[in-house]
Structure 1
Amino acid sequence: MGNWLRNLAFSIVFYGGSVPIVLGAPIAAMFGKKVIRPYCMGWAGFGVWCARHIMGIRLAIEGQQVAGPALYAAKHQSMFETMALARALGTPAIVMKQELARIPIWGWATQQYGIILVDREASAAALRRMMREAGEALAEGRSILIFPEGTRVPPGETPPLRSGFAGLYRALKLPVVPVALDSGLVWPRKGRKRPGTVTFRFAAPVPPGLKRDEVETIVHGAINALEPPAPS
């Protein structure tokens, strides 16, 4: 019953509070990136605060970020890392599915923030646009955050990396920092959240210039470092 009440309180406070924040995002976006980016980070901070103080979800960080812009490739299990990683990396350019940019008003606001849209069809035009948007982010001194497996997955699942990751890695010539995490253990995609500790593990940076199969093998293994071992 206690955890049920926690979930109810979290839903009321976080989702109820997010409605006016989301509705206000287009207004903030009208004043440019210097306003919309702190505005979005404020919402992310609000979400992390709710997770910590209502749900009892704490964050432990292992390893270190690199100095300067980098390509961060992270596991994706819940909404939690979308908020917490964005804050930790300081308004990074986040690689998002093109479908999210089609949401009326909100999609326009996210593009004002400076995201990178990825097209699942991976057409040549879409790839060129993705590289252009990534280049603009780097020119501003921002890192790039990508969830290379493409979607949220429950703990234990390790799907292959999508092709967009290799394209960014090859084009940007940046070090890649893999990020393993286990948020799905306390914030499942379906079902009730529960108190606990989420670990973000920043692995050693992978240098640019490796062959595709080599970098994908290293990154795939590193972002899944916190996954339970397969049964023997």
Structure 2
Amino acid sequence: MLFIRSALFAVLFYANLALWLVACLPLLAAPPHYLFPVARAWARTNLWMLRVVAGLGVEWRGLDNIPKGGLLVASKHQSAWETFALVAIFDRPIFVLKQELLSLPLFGWYLRRVGMIAVDRSAGASALTGMARAARERVRDGHQVIIFPEGTRRPPGAPPDYKTGVAFLYDSLKVPCLPVALNSGLFWPRQSFLRRPGTVVVSIMPPLPQNLPRKNVVGVLEQRIEDECARLTAGNDAAFATAQSAAERSAPPRKPET
């Protein structure tokens, strides 16, 4: 039954995505702000399908911690789930994402049109400068800039690997920085086809203190997010074990010691 429900959701998810991408093509000629309500409706449709078909719901905690206007959102990244789910709660979200996504047919056109911030990971320090410049423009226009501080998905319980890019943005933007913890990887594991029933809990915490020294930002952010993720994972031992098993199967083989 789990396989059947997961397969049905996958079919509906991609069919729904294709339908929205094609139906909204005329909006690519309109001002970008028209696309955000559409994206929010698409994201909420996905969450509804996930709940009805796969039995996976969501609980949002701390929505009242979201201030008005431009801000920086630093979210844990365990699954593909949050790449669309966070769109459902922010008015004008802009993601920091890898440059390759802009080349996707149709989908990449929308990413470019709304002004997503693409990062060339091979560009080194110049990529950080370009990212900060683009992010300043977005928050000045009232957008919420969303970054995954570890740069890629990490399964529940994996050692954290926070990068310095989030500290660079914190120091450059001078806007509230919201830490976000979640447990999506328990139910939508990385590189797994199965969507397990349950409730994804998303905890939106109060903003980081203002004027933190840049060298302290990563440490403070990591402690807040990882401590909260550990609390959200507690009590889900079976799901945690399954997520860990999936992560181990997808991990690259270790090189032999010499």
- Please, what TM-score do these two structures have when normalized by structure 1? 0.89
Match of 1:168 in 2: 169
Q: Distance in 1 between matches of 2:54 and 2:151?
A: 27
In structure 1, what residue type is equivalent to 2:89?
Answer: A
The CA deviation at 1:95 is 0.9
Q: Distance in 1 between matches of 2:157 and 2:220?
A: 18
Q: Is the 8 Å Cα contact of residues 73 and 177 (structure 1) preserved in structure 2?
A: yes
Match of 2:225 in 1: 223
Match of 1:72 in 2: 73
Q: Distance in 2 between matches of 1:48 and 1:174?
A: 29
Higher helix share: 2
Match of 1:19 in 2: 18
Match of 1:138 in 2: 139
The CA deviation at 1:121 is 3.0
The CA deviation at 1:26 is 4.4
Q: Which deviations, in whole Å up to 9, do the C-alpha atoms of 1:100-153 show, x marking residues without a partner?
A: 112244323201112112222354443333222212211221211111110111
Q: Is the 8 Å Cα contact of residues 136 and 172 (structure 2) preserved in structure 1?
A: no
Q: Once structures 1 and 2 are overlaid, which stretch shifts more, 135-144 or 173-182?
A: 135-144
Match of 2:31 in 1: 32
Q: Once structures 1 and 2 are overlaid, which stretch shifts more, 68-77 or 23-32?
A: 23-32
Q: Distance in 2 between matches of 1:172 and 1:70?
A: 8
The CA deviation at 1:66 is 3.0
| Seq. identity, % | 36
Match of 1:152 in 2: 153
Gaps of 5+ in 1: none
Match of 1:59 in 2: 58
SS of 1:162's partner is coil
Count of matched residue pairs: 228
Q: Distance in 2 between matches of 1:128 and 1:25?
A: 33
In structure 1, what residue type is equivalent to 2:198?
Answer: G
Q: Out of 206, 209, 214, which is 1:207 matched to?
A: 209
Q: Once structures 1 and 2 are overlaid, which stretch shifts more, 170-179 or 37-46?
A: 37-46
Match of 2:113 in 1: 112
Q: Distance in 2 between matches of 1:92 and 1:54?
A: 27
Q: Distance in 2 between matches of 1:39 and 1:202?
A: 23
Q: Is the 8 Å Cα contact of residues 182 and 198 (structure 1) preserved in structure 2?
A: yes
The CA deviation at 1:11 is 1.5
Q: Which deviations, in whole Å up to 9, do the C-alpha atoms of 1:137-189 show, x marking residues without a partner?
A: 11221211111110111111133212221111110012211111000111111
Q: Which deviations, in whole Å up to 9, do the C-alpha atoms of 1:57-95 show, x marking residues without a partner?
A: 111122242322321100011122122212112221111
The CA deviation at 1:209 is 2.0
Q: Distance in 2 between matches of 1:67 and 1:183?
A: 24
Q: Distance in 2 between matches of 1:168 and 1:112?
A: 22
In structure 2, what residue type is equivalent to 1:221?
Answer: Q
Q: Is the 8 Å Cα contact of residues 26 and 106 (structure 1) preserved in structure 2?
A: no
SS of 1:206's partner is coil
The CA deviation at 1:32 is 2.5
Q: Is the 8 Å Cα contact of residues 25 and 106 (structure 1) preserved in structure 2?
A: no
Aligned structure 1 segments of 4 or more residues deviating by more than 6 angstroms: none
Q: Distance in 2 between matches of 1:124 and 1:75?
A: 23
- Please, what TM-score do these two structures have when normalized by structure 2? 0.81
Match of 2:3 in 1: 4
Q: Which deviations, in whole Å up to 9, do the C-alpha atoms of 1:31-51 show, x marking residues without a partner?
A: 221332222222212211111
Q: Is the 8 Å Cα contact of residues 186 and 198 (structure 1) preserved in structure 2?
A: yes
